[in-house]
Amino acid sequence: MKVLKKIGSILFCLLPVLLALGIQFFVVAAGFAIKIFILISQDPSQISEITSPGFIYPLLSDSQFLMLLSAIYGITAAFAMGFWYWKRFFHRRPTGMRNLPSGGTHVHPAMEAGGFHNKTEKRTFSSIIHPAMFLGLIFLMVGMQYISTYLIAVLAAVNPAWYYSYEELMESAGFGNVTLVLVLYSVIIAPISEELIFRGVTMKYATKAMPFFLANIFQAFLFGLFHGNVVQGTYAFVAGLFCGCVCFKGGSIYLSILFHMMFNLWGTFLPDFFTYAGDSVLIHLGIFAGAVLAVAAGMFLYQWGVKKRSA
């Protein structure tokens, strides 16, 4: 019975991802249905060509339309997962109870008489993040960007077809040109929705079914798989591991959302002079070593900041 219960708990952890996929399918299907209806309304003669490649291909290659659907999906998923996370995992405490410096709690006299109710615990900005934590996230983000770049290069060398399909997917999805919708989706919408799905609901349930080490790998694997291609899935898996650590060690989903936003912001607006495209092996090794050191320094500063914040 214990084994079956454990298996059931692990399978339950898949529900947030399945719900996200369901929302994605519904948004895409509804979006295309509305788009086709508008096109036919404008030109009824196109109804006879609705199944022809000449009618379907322009829809599938409209990158701005696809990016808009991505944004709508992200917003819908963020609301759905945010509500789930808020109802199930947001800390609640009785009104009238406050922490004491000694670590205990003070109970308001009204509580002792039964006159209290539960309310959502409000956290101040300083109780969520310490300046050292923010500095650590900057180091971690920069290091992870360069490590991701070299990871993509290795995958492209192993199988160029993986990289070509990744590039085609990014172009068709609207990531080729920086637009307002792209910026809003990449820097704000996607970090919020994805963190709520994977580091929020999924990881919270997973840590109840297994140790954090395994739960973190589990949610990061699902995060990588969710991206649907080898290249993006691989670096999403690695980034997901660090997002999981940031969230778990910092004790707040806000922190992994912030890190995810910073990571995507750099990736969206990265100037070319920050990258080296030369052939010098020594320079590439130096950059990679610097990236690893930046990640190590970032994790050290972040964990030190967590301790200072809690002091």
Helices (H), the chain: 2-12, 15-42, 53-60, 63-89, 109-112, 125-128, 131-158, 160-172, 180-183, 190-194, 203-209, 212-226, 230-250, 253-269, 281-310
pLDDT exceeds cutoff 50 at 276? yes
Residue 298 forms part of a structural domain: yes
A 10 A CB-CB count for 223 gives 26
Residue 106 forms part of a structural domain: no
Average pLDDT over residues 44-52: 76
Residue 113 forms part of a structural domain: no
* Residue 279 pLDDT: 82
* CB 181 within 8 Å of CB 68: yes
Burial class (CB in 10 A: 0-12, 13-18, 19+), 154: exposed
Residue 96 forms part of a structural domain: no
Residue 204 forms part of a structural domain: yes
pLDDT band for position 95 (cuts 50, 70, 90): very low
Distance CA(124)–CA(158), nearest Å, equals 48
- Write out pLDDT tens, residues 218-273: 999 999 999 988 999 999 999 999 999 999 999 999 999 999 999 999 888 876 66
Which residues 6+ apart lie within 8 Å of 131 measured at CB?
A: 305
Distances (CA, A) of 275 to 85, 149, 164, 238, 296: 38, 9, 20, 20, 21
* Residue 76 pLDDT: 97
* Residue 141 pLDDT: 95
Three-state DSSP state, 99: strand
Count of structural domains, the chain: 1
Distance CA(183)–CA(233), nearest Å, equals 21
- The boundaries of the domain holding residue 173 are 2-90+131-310
Which residues 6+ apart lie within 8 Å of 228 measured at CB?
A: 169
Look at the block and give the residue holding tokens 């079956």: 4
Residue 299 forms part of a structural domain: yes
Average pLDDT over residues 80-105: 66
Residue 235 forms part of a structural domain: yes
- Write out pLDDT tens, residues 57-67: 777 777 888 89
Residue 111 forms part of a structural domain: no
